[in-house]
Amino acid sequence: MMLMVSVGALVTPASADVDFSGQTIEWIIPFREGGGSDTWARFNAPFLARHLPGNPEIVIRNVPGGSSTKGVNRYAQGAPANGLSLLGTSASTQFPFLLGDSRVRYDYAQWRVLMVYPTGGIVYVRPELGVSRPEELAQLRGKRLVYGSQGATSLDLVPLLGFELLGLDVRPIFGIRGRSAAQLAFQRGDATIDFQTSAAYFRNVEPLVAAGEAIPLFTLGALNSAGELVRDPQFPDLPHLGEVYATIHGKPPSGLDWDSWFAFFSAGFGAQKLLVVPRTTPDDVIAAYEAAFERMQRDPEYLARRTDALGAYEQVTGDAAERLYRLASDVPDRPRQWIKAWLRRTYNLNI
C-alpha cells in the first residue's frame, strides 16, 4: 500500500548475457510534458540508464491524447518485447480500463510490471475565494467553483467525486489536455480550484503557494499497511479528504458512495504510476531491470534528490510491485458499477 511497502524484495540475478550497450530505450509517457507522469519518468530515466547493463540511452517520448488511451493503445498494439520499449501508465490510464471505456484497446494482463510509484494528491484554491487555511474549507460550500479536467474517467474521477462528497459546487471544464495545463488554467484564473499529484505539486504549485497565489486545503490521503486512509506523510499538516468529510458532515464517512470513492482512490493513488513491458519480455531482461532498480534506489545521488523531485514515496519493485499492480488493475464489482452509474447520472457518460 502507499508509502508503507518495502522496496527491499529480492531480485533474480540478471543474466550476464543482457547488455544494452549502444542501445536506445524508449519510455512512452501517454501525457503531455510537464505533468506528474512526465516529471516521474524524466527524473528516473537517467538513474535507470546508469544502472542497466551497458548504460543505454533512455529517451522519454510523450504521446498524449484520449486521456492517455491513444498512446497506450499504440503501445499495446506494437511494442517490442525486447526491453527497449517501456510504458509508463497512471490512474488516468487505469480508470478507463477498469470502467470498460470504449476507447480502450489494451489489457493490463498483457504486461509485466517493473516498478510502481505510489503518490499523493493535493487540492488547492485561489486566494480570492476568501479562505486561507483548511479549517475554513466549509466556507466554500454554496460557492460556484471551476475546475479544469482531462475528463471524468481520468484520474480526475477521484477529486471530482471527492468534491461532491464534501458538498462542494464544482463545475468541471472538460477537455483540458493534462494536469499541467489545468494548473496553468488555475494560475491564469480560469479555474478556481485544482488538484495535482505530489510530484507536479512540488515542482509547479509550491512556488504559487509561496507567492500567495494558491491556498492548499487538503490532501486525498494515503494508505497505511492495513489499507486504512491516513494523512499523507508528505503533507502531515494538511487533513485528508476523510477528515474534511467528518468535519463538514459531523460524522465519519460511510456508505456505498464513500466505499466507491475509496476503491478508486486505492487503485489510482496506492499504485498511481506503473512502469510496464510486454508480458512476453524474456525473464533475463526483466531480471536485469529489477536489479537495476534495486541498485538505483541505493544510489546516493538518487536518494539525495528523490524527495525534492518526487516526494517521500518509495518506488516499489519485485513482489510488492506485483501486489500493487493487481490493486491498480482491478476493483470490486459493486464500487465499479456504482461509479458507472454516478458517471451516467452526473456527466451523462454511458460506459
Domain positions in the chain are: 24-118+268-333, 121-266
**What backbone phi and psi angles, to 5 degrees, belong to 327?**
-60, -40
Can you point out the beta strands (E) in the chain? 24-29, 57-62, 85-90, 111-117, 121-125, 144-149, 169-174, 193-197, 215-219, 222-223, 229-230, 273-278
10-residue mean pLDDT profile of the chain (351 residues): values are 36 65 97 88 97 98 91 96 96 89 93 92 97 94 95 93 97 91 95 92 93 97 85 94 96 96 91 94 96 95 90 83 86 94 94 80
Q: Are 295 and 317 spatial neighbours (Cβ–Cβ below 8 Å)?
A: no
The per-type count for the chain, helices as H runs and strands as E runs, is: 13, 12
Looking only at the bridges linking them, the beta strands covering 273-278 and 229-230 are: unpaired
What's residue 16's pLDDT?
A: 58
pLDDT at 311: 77
The angle formed by the CA atoms of residues 241, 344 and 248, to the nearest 5 degrees, is 25
Distance separating alpha carbons of residues 215 and 202, to the nearest angstrom: 14
At 346 the pLDDT is 96
Topology match between the domains 24-118+268-333 and 121-266: yes
C-alpha dist (Å) from residue 42 to 23, 37, 155, 310, 339? 18, 9, 20, 11, 33
CA–CA gap between residue 336 and residue 166 (Å, rounded):
21
- pLDDT score at 66: 84
Burial of 60: CB neighbours in 10 Å, binned 0-12, 13-18, 19+: middle
* Tens digit of each residue's pLDDT (9 = 90 or more) over 102-160: 999 999 999 999 999 888 999 999 999 999 999 999 999 999 999 999 899 888 999 99
CA distances from 346 to 161, 184, 214, 350 (A): 10, 26, 28, 11
The x, y and z cell numbers of residue 280, run together, are 512476453
CA distance 265 to 324: 13
Determine contact, residues 25/38, Cβ cutoff 8 Å. Answer: no
Q: What does the buried/exposed string (b/e) look like for 135-158 if buried means 16 or more CB atoms within 10 Å of the residue's CB? A: eebeebeeeebbbbbbbbbbbbbb
The pLDDT score that the predictor gives to residue 178 is: 83
CA distance 40 to 57: 17
Q: Tens of pLDDT along 289-310?
A: 999 999 999 999 999 999 888 8
DSSP-derived secondary structure letter, 316: B
Nearest alpha carbon to residue 338 among 99, 164, 31, 3: 99
Architecture of domain 121-266: 3-Layer(aba) Sandwich (3.40)
The pLDDT of residue 278 is: 97
Question: How many angstroms separate the CA atoms of 284 and 186, rounded?
Answer: 46
The pLDDT, as a whole number, for residue 215 is 98
Check: CB of residue 150 under 8 Å from CB of residue 156: yes
Chosen CATH of 24-118+268-333 out of 3.40.190.150, 3.40.1110.10, 3.20.20.70, 2.40.50.140: 3.40.190.150
pLDDT (0 to 100) of residue 147: 98
